[in-house]
Every structure is written in C-alpha cells, then in structure tokens.
Amino acid sequence: MSNIIIVFFSDCGGQHRAIRNTQSVASAQLDPDVIAKRTRRHLDELERSNYSEPSALLAGEEDEDGTAGGRTGKGRARQATSDKRAAELGKKKKSTMNVRTAVLYKKSFTMLLDESGLASYPASVPTYLSAAAPPPKEPPRMLCSICGYLGKYRCKRCSMPYCDKNCEEVHDEARCERRVI
Amino acid sequence: MPSYLKHTRIVVVDNGASTIKLGVKGFNDSDSRVIPNAIVRSKGDKATYYGHEIEKCTDYSSLHYRLPFEKGYLVDWDAQKAIWDGIFTTDYLMLDPTESSLLMTEPYFNLPNLQDVYDQFVFEEYEFQSYYRCTPASLVSYGKLYREKGQPSPECVLVVDSGFSFTHVVPMINGSIMWEAVKRIDVGGKLLTNQLKELVSFRQWNMMDETYVMNDVKESCCFVSTQFTRDLDICRANPIGNPIVQEYILPDFSLNRRGHVRRPDEMMEDSYQILHMNSERFAVPEIMFRPDDIGLEQAGLAQTIAHSISLLPEDIQGMFWSNIGLIGGSTKFPNFCSRLAAELRTLAPVDSEVKIYESSDPILEAYRSAIAFASKPDFLQKVVTREEYNESGSNACRRKFPDWKPKEGEAALTKGKVSVELQDVVREDEEGAPAHPGDVVGRKTDSALG
Ligand SMILES: [Zn+2]
Ligand SMILES: [Zn+2]
C-alpha cells in the first residue's frame, strides 16, 4: 500500500457559520441528467471486482487468467482459463458443445439480460426487471462528500454537498468536478 | 423414482457470488467447506489460486480477483468451470459425481438462458446422476431458522437474504416463494467493501487495490448504527477520542502479521500502519438502510419489506410481519437486527407483531437447510435424473424445479388464489432445536454505544 495521505480530518468539528456564496438547496440550474450520470458512474465503480486493470497489476509477469477476465463482449479467448486448469488437473473429459459454447463465449450480464427476453414477458409475470425495490419515500439526506457528516451546502459548480468551510476547501482542491451546471 | 436413487449420496452446493458452501449429506451436515468463488492472483506469491486453493496463499496484498458472478448472476462460465473442475472430482468430494445427486442453489430470478447453462454443466460436464436447483430462501423452511420448541414451522415467512451482490426480500407460503412480492435492493457486501475502500482511500491510505484487506476491515469494524445522526455527531465532536473510533492495524504479509483492531493494551510499534475507523464504521452498512445515501434510488431495507408485504393478500399480512428471518453474510453486522426491528415497528400496522429471527450462522443457514431438505425422503422425488435430462434436455428441469416463471399452462398466482391454498400444514419437528428470535435484542455492538 502506498502511503499517500491525501488529507486527514482532525478538524472536522469546525464552524457552522454561514459560508460565503452558498445555497443550501440545489438551485434550478443544476442539470439532473448530468448528476444522474455521475451517480450511475459511481454505482458502476462500486460493482467492480478490481480497481486496477490486470495489466497494471501483473506487469512483467505472465499474463494469464487476468487477461481472459478482462476480455469483454463475445471475444474469443486465446485459450480458455478452464482449459489450462483442466490440463493441470489431468482432466481428460471432452466437453459437450453446450459447455464449450458457454466457456468460450462470455457475455456480460447486460447482454444476457437482453437475450433472455424478459422485457417481452407479460406484465403479470414478475421478473428481475420488475423486482427492483421501489424508490425511497423520503428525499435523500445531504451528506458531506468529503467527511461524511451532514452537509448543509452544495457546491455551486458541481452540486456535491459539503458541511463547512474546511470541507469546502478540500472539495474545491481535490473533488470538484466543476462542470455540472 | 428409480430404485438406485435410494442409496445415492447427495452433494449440497450453495453456489454464491462470493463463496461456495459445499458438503456431502451425512458427512458435512452442520459445517460445509466454504470456498471463495474466485480465481485469485497473488502478486506477492506470484501464483494463481482457484477456489479452494486459496488456503495456500501467503500474501493477500493487492490480490486480483476474477469472479464468475457479475451483478449477482453467473456469467463467466470459463472461470466457474476452472473452479468447479477442482471440486467436482472424486478426489475432492471423496465420491464419484456420476453416481451422486446434486442440490445446487441459483440466484433469485435467475435468467432462463443461464438456468439452461447450469443444467448443461451439471449433466453434460460433471454427469451427476440426478440434480435439484432452487434459490437459497426456498430452502430455509426446511432448516432451523424459524423453529421454536414444540412449534410447527410458520406457514408464512419472509426471508431477507443479504449477500455479496444484493439484498432480497422473499416472502413464502408453505415454502413456496411469492414471486410477485419478491423485491431486490442492489446493495450487498461487494458494494459495501468497495464503498469503504473509496472512503478510506480518499481520507487516509490508498487502499483501492486491497479488496481482501478492506473486506476484513469491514467485517472487523463495521456495525449498523441505531441512531445515525447521533453517532455522526459523536464522531465529529472528537474525531480521535470518541467511543466509536477504532484503530485497525494493517497487515504486514512479509512479517506474516494479520490485520486486526488494536487491542486496548496493545503497544504500538513503529512499523504499524494504522487505519482510523471513525464514522466509516457505521456509514458503510448504513447504505443497506438508506441506499439513497450513495444516490441509489431504491428504498431501504425496512421500507422494501413493508412494500413487499403490502403486495401479499391482506388477511395474512400480519403473519409475514411476525416471521421475518435473516440470512446471508451482510446481515451479520452488529445491530443489524435491532435497527431493522426499530424501523419496521414504525412501518407495521399497530396490531401487527414484528418479530425477527436471526440465524446462528447466516452464511451457512441456506446450506444447513439444504442438508435438511436433502435428508427428507421426498427430496429424491423432486430431482431430475440424468436419463430425464438426456431425453428432454432442460425441459425436464423447467417442468420440475420451482421457479419464478409460471409453468406452461399455469397462470401467475393472483392475490385471491393464494389465501385459498393456505392450510394448516404441520411439519414434523425433528430436532426441536430452539430458533433465535431476535425481536428484542440484536447482537450487541462492540462499540461503546451498544
Ligand atoms: Zn465535511
Ligand atoms: Zn464542486
């Protein structure tokens, strides 16, 4: 682990005095589409199994399974990981066509969902698509995007919440996306 | 049922997105083997470990994970085969798969095109003699979660299964899932660990590549707050000396030192790298109760449960409120149960009793229930045999296995019909072991605030 301390908050109990140029509620100019896209991007990041790409992580070493895992879409693997594995294990069985197809042609979940035809089921049949929890009943709370405490203010440029002047400064230096409005 | 099935050994596999829980009925009844469902590359060891081989790993820093599951569904069959090839063998199981039966779990609302691939692997690749596929929650009524001494299992239960990929609310009547009321929150252990990685990496050390370490930090330090804003205030008022903050001593794999929470009397050494776990301890599990804290526009767990129950026949809703059971690793956070109970009480009708059952081991609950199911004589009536599969392929499975899709010629259950099916089914109570009602007291948090 590299010791890059970005900032450590020992002074989060700071002042709550009104802060210049702030609005406590998102103003009308904020583009909800851009904010939704940013949230979507973050949620996608939270689904990742690895942060660094295998190439960076395995640099200089034989790149085997990592490469196959990074392959997306219907690309055909140079050699399936499971073939290497079967050879190591001394497994002799020849797989059936169905199994070969599943092993060699990896599809993303989105692609499989598309191919499953769920979207064309009658509305009376519950599916993965209809099972998502309903939207929340209360409005979201504002939590400071820097320290996690309850935030009262939103950045005028990117609308991320922050709680006080310290966090505003950190936000401006390190986190502001400066482009939502 | 063909007579040869009577003496068949049964392999039980709860095939999760994070771990595979696996054992053989009669040999591993209460404790399964728990195997990572992953191909893991260790930079330090310069080695790749498949599934159960992880026990050979010595350096857990910057592990690279390849997971067969994506968004909770089995999509990478190459990876899954590489892992299964190591465990569905005579050497590993101490029995011949081709002469055994298999009970395997699948995700809720599994895609039909994926269900076919499950069947193909089981019969065509591993050639099990017979097989049964179902979801984890549907097994729970065979287990001990709801058992109270002398009492039959309740007919109406609602299982909360919070695992690695997501959290499901699953109401059931006499063991049959009421699919039209099953709801999913897209928050599970994977998202929580990743969120913790982000918070810590921004505030303290760069831990973005340390999934293994941060998962341990999450499991060692995190708890569910019963008063979120009060706890935030406590953490903010004195970030270094408050009753919540903990010091997690990061591992040093070169010295063979594991990561752990600093003990009160533990001397600090110069080489220690410390992670301060302050509001991160509860802000992360909080997402299960408030997904909108990270912008996910889904109701929290309590509201989702209330919503699910509202979709069930009105005359029996009260039974679901009083038979809520918790399974899955992400329900293990201290105070999970008491927070959920408190929120549910504000949402339940005044005349409904809210009662939550906790498992002694939420990760193994589905596995142990599966063993109990496999021990019943009617299990072998419900399997699909290799002959049946050879004859009619996946159609044989579609006909026999319980599923969210209505069977051919069968209409989806409507509200009116369900209550008619209700009857007093009294299950025999084999061991009569006490259940673990957690209504009043959840497990205590290790924070000073418990
Ligand atoms: Zn702040
Ligand atoms: Zn900004």
Residues B17 and B58 in one domain: yes
* Residue in B with minimal Cα distance to A98: B120
Position A62 pLDDT exceeds 90 = no
- Tell me what pLDDT residue A178 has: 63
Position B37 pLDDT exceeds 70 = yes
Comparing B357 with A54, which gets the higher pLDDT?
B357
**B108 in contact with chain A, both atoms CB, cutoff 8 A:** yes
- In this structure, is residue B376 part of a structural domain? no
**B272 in contact with chain A, both atoms CB, cutoff 8 A:** no
Position A24 pLDDT exceeds 70 = no
Disruptive mutation site among B64, B84, B120 for chain A (greatest number of A CBs within 10 Å): B64
Contacts of A131 in chain B (CB under 8 A): 108-109, 168, 182-184
Out of B75, B199, B304, the one facing A112 most closely (by C-beta) is B75
Residues B96/A128, Cβ–Cβ less than 8 Å: no
Residue A111 CB contacts under 8 Å (≥ 6 apart), including other chains: A73, A74
CA B134 to CA B110: how far, in whole Å?
Answer: 10
Integer-rounded Cα Rg, in Å, for chain B is: 23
Token pair of B201, please?
Answer: 């990496």
- Tell me what pLDDT residue B27 has: 87
Q: Which of A73-82, B37-46, B230-239, B364-373 has the lowest mean pLDDT?
A: A73-82
DSSP B299: -
B109/A43 touch (CB, cutoff 8 Å), yes or no = no
CA B435 to CA B325: how far, in whole Å?
Answer: 10
Q: Which CATH number covers residue B90?
A: 3.30.420.40
Integer-rounded Cα Rg, in Å, for chain A is: 24
Strand partners, B9: B100
Residues B277/A114, Cβ–Cβ less than 8 Å: no
A112/B73 touch (CB, cutoff 8 Å), yes or no = yes
- B232 CA to middle of ligand 2, Å? 23
CA distances to B254, B274, B278 from B251, in Å: 9, 10, 19
Residues A173/A179, Cβ–Cβ less than 8 Å: no
Q: Residue type at B423?
A: Q
Residue among B40, B44, B65, B66 nearest B55 (CA): B40
Contacts of A91 in chain B (CB under 8 A): 85, 89
Protein residues near ligand 1, an ion, with CB under 5 A: A 144, 146-147, 149, 163, 167
B203/A98 touch (CB, cutoff 8 Å), yes or no = no
Per-residue pLDDT band for A78 (boundaries 50, 70, 90) equals low
Comparing A147 with A65, which gets the higher pLDDT?
A147
Residues B312 and B182 in one domain: yes
Residues B130 and B29 in one domain: yes
- Tell me what pLDDT residue B356 has: 97
**B206 in contact with chain A, both atoms CB, cutoff 8 A:** yes
The total number of structural domains in chain B stands at 3
Domain extents in chain A: 142-180
H-helix or E-strand spanning residue A20: none
In the three-class reduction of DSSP (H, G, I as helix; E, B as strand; rest coil), residue B221 is classed as helix
Q: Residue type at B139?
A: L
Residues B18 and B125 in one domain: yes
- In this structure, is residue B270 part of a structural domain? yes
Out of A68, A98, A117, the one facing B124 most closely (by C-beta) is A98
CA A16 to CA A168: how far, in whole Å?
Answer: 12
Question: Which bound ligand lies closest to the C-alpha atom of A147?
Answer: 1
- Tell me what pLDDT residue B30 has: 79
Residue B147, sorted as left (phi over 0), alpha (psi -120 to 50) or beta, turns out to be: beta
- B298 CA to middle of ligand 1, Å? 25
Per-residue pLDDT band for A7 (boundaries 50, 70, 90) equals very low
Position B440 pLDDT exceeds 50 = no
Q: Mean of the pLDDT values across residues B5-22?
A: 91
Token pair of B374, please?
Answer: 């496999």
What is the crossing angle of helices B189-203 and B211-221, to 10°? 100
ipTM (interface pTM): 0.88
CA B251 to CA B229: how far, in whole Å?
Answer: 32
Residues B129 and B161 in one domain: no
B191/A47 touch (CB, cutoff 8 Å), yes or no = yes
What's the gap in Å between the CA of B376 and the closest CA on chain A? Answer: 30
Residues B150 and B244 in one domain: no
Residue among B185, B257, B220 nearest B445 (CA): B220
Residues B258 and B320 in one domain: no
A47/B194 touch (CB, cutoff 8 Å), yes or no = yes
Reported as a single tens digit per residue, the pLDDT across B289-309 is: 999 999 999 999 999 999 999
Contacts of A49 in chain B (CB under 8 A): 65-67, 190, 211
In the three-class reduction of DSSP (H, G, I as helix; E, B as strand; rest coil), residue B70 is classed as strand
CA distances to A96, A119, A129, A130, B177 from A123, in Å: 36, 9, 10, 9, 18
- Tell me what pLDDT residue B237 has: 94
- B208 CA to middle of ligand 1, Å? 22
**B386 in contact with chain A, both atoms CB, cutoff 8 A:** no
Share of chain B above pLDDT 90, in %: 82
Residue among A51, A98, A71 nearest B79 (CA): A71
Disruptive mutation site among B18, B37, B41 for chain A (greatest number of A CBs within 10 Å): B41
In the three-class reduction of DSSP (H, G, I as helix; E, B as strand; rest coil), residue B131 is classed as strand
Position A2 pLDDT exceeds 80 = no
Mean pLDDT over each residue of chain A, to the nearest integer: 77
Residues B105 and B147 in one domain: no
- Tell me what pLDDT residue B142 has: 94
A136/B113 touch (CB, cutoff 8 Å), yes or no = no
**B401 in contact with chain A, both atoms CB, cutoff 8 A:** no
Task: Show the domain range for B53.
Answer: 9-134+383-400
CA distances to B251, B286, B325, B346 from B257, in Å: 5, 30, 37, 46
Comparing B68 with A69, which gets the higher pLDDT?
B68
- In this structure, is residue B424 part of a structural domain? no
- Tell me what pLDDT residue A19 has: 39
- Tell me what pLDDT residue A4 has: 39
CA A159 to CA A155: how far, in whole Å?
Answer: 5
DSSP B121: I
- In this structure, is residue B368 part of a structural domain? no
**B298 in contact with chain A, both atoms CB, cutoff 8 A:** yes
- In this structure, is residue B428 part of a structural domain? no
- Tell me what pLDDT residue A144 has: 96
Residues B210 and B335 in one domain: no
Token pair of B434, please?
Answer: 């006490």
CA B168 to CA B328: how far, in whole Å?
Answer: 10
* Residue in A with minimal Cα distance to B240: A10
Residues B256 and B108 in one domain: no
> How many Cβ atoms are within 10 Å of A28's Cβ, its own excluded?
5
CA B380 to CA B2: how far, in whole Å?
Answer: 9
- Tell me what pLDDT residue B3 has: 63
The Cα diameter of chain B in Å comes to 71
- In this structure, is residue B425 part of a structural domain? no
Reported as a single tens digit per residue, the pLDDT across B88-131 is: 999 999 999 999 999 999 999 999 999 999 999 999 999 999 99
Mean pLDDT over each residue of chain B, to the nearest integer: 90
Residues B317 and B347 in one domain: yes
- In this structure, is residue B16 part of a structural domain? yes
Reported as a single tens digit per residue, the pLDDT across A118-156 is: 999 999 999 999 999 999 999 999 999 999 999 999 998
Protein residues near ligand 2, an ion, with CB under 5 A: A 155, 157-158, 176
- A158 CA to middle of ligand 2, Å? 4
Contacts of A141 in chain B (CB under 8 A): 290, 292-293
Residue among B108, B259, B264 nearest B183 (CA): B108
CA B11 to CA B31: how far, in whole Å?
Answer: 13
CA B75 to CA A71: how far, in whole Å?
Answer: 13
* Residue in B with minimal Cα distance to A130: B183
Reported as a single tens digit per residue, the pLDDT across B313-350 is: 999 999 999 999 999 999 999 999 999 999 999 999 99
Domain boundary among B233, B252, B287: B287
* Residue in B with minimal Cα distance to A77: B78
- In this structure, is residue B343 part of a structural domain? yes
Residues B123 and B164 in one domain: no
